[in-house]
Amino acid sequence: MKPMTVSSLPVATLGLPRIGPKRELKFALERFWSGQIDEALLQNTAAGLRAANWTRQEMAGVIEIPSNDFSLYDHVLDTSVMVGAIPPAYGWQGGEVPLSTYFAMARGAQPGPANACGCGAATPAGGVPAQEMTKWFDTNYHFMVPEFRRGQTFALASRKPIEHFEEAKAQGVTTRPVLVGPVSFLALGKSADETLDRLSLLPGLLPVYAEVLRALGEAGAAWVQIDEPCLVLDTDERTRDALRLAYETLAREVPSIRLMLTSYFGGLGESLDTVARLPVAGVHLDLVRAPNQFQAALAALPPDRVLSMGVIDGRNIWRADLGHLLDWIEPVVAARDRVQIAPSCSLLHVPMDLESETALDPELRRWLAFAQQKMHELATLGQALAGGRESVQAALDDSADAARSRRTSERIHDKAVAARIEAVTPVMSRRAKPFAERQAQQRQSFALPAFPTTTIGSFPQTAEVRQARAAHTKAEISDADYEAFLRKETEAAIRWQEEIGLDVLVHGEFERNDMVQYFGEQLAGFAFTKSGWVQSYGSRCVRPPILFGDVSRPKPMTVAWWRYSQSLTDRPVKGMLTGPVTILNWSFVRNDVPRSVACRQIALAIRDEVLDLEAAGARIIQIDEAALREGLPLRRSEWQAYLDWAVESFRLCSSGVGDATQIHTHMCYSEFNDIIEAIGAMDADVISIETSRSKMELLGAFSRYRYPNEIGPGVYDIHSPRVPDTREMVDLLGRARERLADGQIWVNPDCGLKTRKWDEVRPALVNMVEAAKALRKTSGQAAK
């Protein structure tokens, strides 16, 4: 640990964005994967980003600076690799894990000698799919799900935490390395063998953790931040036993290392007492999400433990009211020796720096803080606590001013929106007819074959598409030229879909930068950044809109593109919208009204669009709710309240249409067994859903709940460059037919295809159409 300076209280960060302020890592990764740069150059870029982050934190006045928060793809994948939890399919033979194996786990690998990830190493014949990916708690960050098997052994297989510690040290920064804790690592994993109790693997895993801690100690680390975010979930006695075992073992085996046990995204709840008694040197609490746990934590935590107060919101971009925070923290610091000030969680989930956002409205900009500004807020708090408020008076005054201006600004409150919300009646959230009657009308109107084929919406966003968009944004090409280009792309996509025989077409979404941003940009109440990128998975980043005020839709958003696309073909083209819950969940949301209220405002705006599409002639309208599940509160006791308003919002936006208009929705996650009733309650005529990565695992839900409407369980994992063959898809559909009636089943990929290349998409969709045709031949025989 660095010597504590007298002028400040220890200020910590728990992790920084790793993608780079200009997404340098993204571009390096993608060049590497496509064979344009070699591993050395990729590693060089990565090292540069780490160095810059360490410097950035030092300059800002952060005392406890993390290392090993950086990852080339995902920190949970890093952990699997660190402990050698690598499924046999990846062909790892022991020893240091090569980058080719790492990326095969992340992205899958094509068969044959030339590896799809561009690293040249041979891959197992037949190729291998990527590990499963899922959302990191209730964020839009995705992690690679660790995979365990019976008899799983662990061995140190990557020294990355130690290497990065040494790298920082060589730069003159003694860091506090971050590790995903052993209990969360096991708890977040999965096993093909459902009877395997993952926590039973803990005794085998702990020696590897001890080895890492020991090596870190030898390298000069005094503290290690160990993340156990699973503690904010509902935990049982088994988990708490595991926790005791883990930290008692590590304290005994490596007494020289002081652990900062870190949880975030919620309160410790029933785990609080256990945590307070663990033999760790410090405990970090998320006091933004769970301020209520503070008094109890204060009482339970022995005075010799360092208390890390997570008071700056790591999940949102609003500036803190520092004076207000000090009112709260000052008495704690006065009464207690060992206190640190920190963000609520890693700053991974906010953009790097507001500085470059010169185009933002100045009034709004004053209300915001990104990672860089949050570090300054922390440093200001630290200084005020050590040297008195006067020592940072100007900064405190400025913070108070900004908070006041936000509370009273007229840019935020729109009377017309309030009036519309008032006027919403229950009838507005119900389709006029029950599903069976709608289905009969829709069948007559569309005359689709059995097992109709469709895609989720987007087609590859090629370099050409992205370049054209960038050139248009920079005004290098005219509106008319850009429009002509998009029309050409759209027309080609429509023609190609007709050619390969898809039944329900999409326009390809070439005009969209992102499924949420595209709508946010056209809605009142949203603002956008130029480079406020946040990592979503691997090299993929999003720029979440900032929902700062009341929402309304000044004019139609998608009707012109739909109309053009439909004019090109006789087959139905879906109108394609993003749903209110997803827009909400993928935005940085105002924190001055409940989320349910903000969501309902968006629902009314989307409803306007749905009705305009229908009026223009659209007979199928898809409203994506990709992010519905990730908005679920982490504690089950809070689920129903969320689902109630989320489902209600979806229904409010979708229920204004006639019976014959077919409403589709799409969700891209497979773990929906536990909310299947709520998904049924959305009453979409058709839902498409991710299932291929988990090999149709979701269908388990249908043994206890009969999904009433139509459903397309995804048969093509679009997160991987791998092209599935027809037989594989027929197989997956065969499994679906064991649980669903033939008349319910649609055939589609897992998700949109924007991140894929045409070379991957073309053969995959041709195979998919073949699979549907194969099924049609057998239809009726296998139906239940």
Instruction: Report the catalytic residues.
Output: 719
Minimum separation from the CB atom of position 458 to ligand GLN (A): 3
Residues 560-589, one symbol each (x = binds ligand GLN by CB under 6 A, - = not), give ----------------x-------------
DSSP string, 707-768: --SEEEE--S-TTSS----HHHHHHHHHHHHHHS-GGGB-B--SS--TTS-HHHHHHHHHHH
What CA–CA distances, in Å, run from 291 to 102, 404, 477, 639, 742? 39, 22, 51, 20, 50
Q: Which of 221, 307, 626, 696 binds Zn ion (CB under 5 A)?
A: 626
Nearer to Zn ion, 133 or 290 (CB): 133
Interactions with Zn ion, residue window 394-453 (CB under 5 A): none
Beta bridge partners of 342: 310
Nearest to 587 by CA among 623, 548, 553, 537: 548
Q: Which of 10, 17, 457, 713 binds ligand GLN (CB under 6 A)?
A: 457
Phi-psi region of 70 (alpha: psi -120 to 50; beta: other; left: phi over 0): beta
DSSP, collapsed to helix, strand or coil, labels residue 278 as coil
Nearer to ligand GLN, 161 or 714 (CB): 714
Nearest to 21 by CA among 268, 335, 351, 266: 351
Token pair listed for 213: 């801690």
Q: Which of 158, 458, 497, 670 binds ligand GLN (CB under 6 A)?
A: 458
Piece in contact with ligand GLN (CB under 6 A), picked from 255-263, 296-304, 583-591, 751-759: 751-759
Residues 641-670, one symbol each (x = binds Zn ion by CB under 5 A, - = not), give ---------------------------x--
What CA–CA distances, in Å, run from 645 to 448, 456, 525? 34, 25, 20
Piece in contact with Zn ion (CB under 5 A), picked from 147-155, 337-345, 477-485, 745-753: 745-753
761 binds ligand GLN (CB under 6 A): no
Shortest Cβ contact with ligand GLN: which residue? Answer: 752
Piece in contact with ligand GLN (CB under 6 A), picked from 49-57, 451-459, 487-495, 531-539: 451-459
Q: Which of 288, 626, 678, 687 binds ligand GLN (CB under 6 A)?
A: 626
Beta bridge partners of 98: none
Token pair listed for 10: 């220890």
Residues 377-416, one symbol each (x = binds ligand GLN by CB under 6 A, - = not), give ----------------------------------------
Nearest to 57 by CA among 338, 460, 375, 407: 375
Nearer to Zn ion, 169 or 540 (CB): 540
Piece in contact with ligand GLN (CB under 6 A), picked from 358-366, 453-461, 593-601, 629-637: 453-461
Piece in contact with Zn ion (CB under 5 A), picked from 180-188, 195-203, 496-504, 743-751: 743-751
Nearest to 549 by CA among 529, 570, 508, 520: 520
Residues 640-669, one symbol each (x = binds ligand GLN by CB under 6 A, - = not), give --------------------------x-x-
> First and final CA of the chain: distance in angstroms?
65
Q: Which of 69, 138, 357, 509 binds ligand GLN (CB under 6 A)?
A: 509
Minimum separation from the CB atom of position 535 to Zn ion (A): 18
Q: Please, which residues have CB within 8 angstroms of residue 604's CB and are 6 or more apart in sequence?
A: 417, 420, 421, 424, 551, 552, 652, 653
Alpha-carbon distance 56 to 177, whole Å? 17
66 binds ligand GLN (CB under 6 A): no
Q: Which residues contribute to the site for ligand GLN (CB under 6 A)?
A: 456-458, 509, 515, 576, 624, 626, 666, 668, 751-752, 754
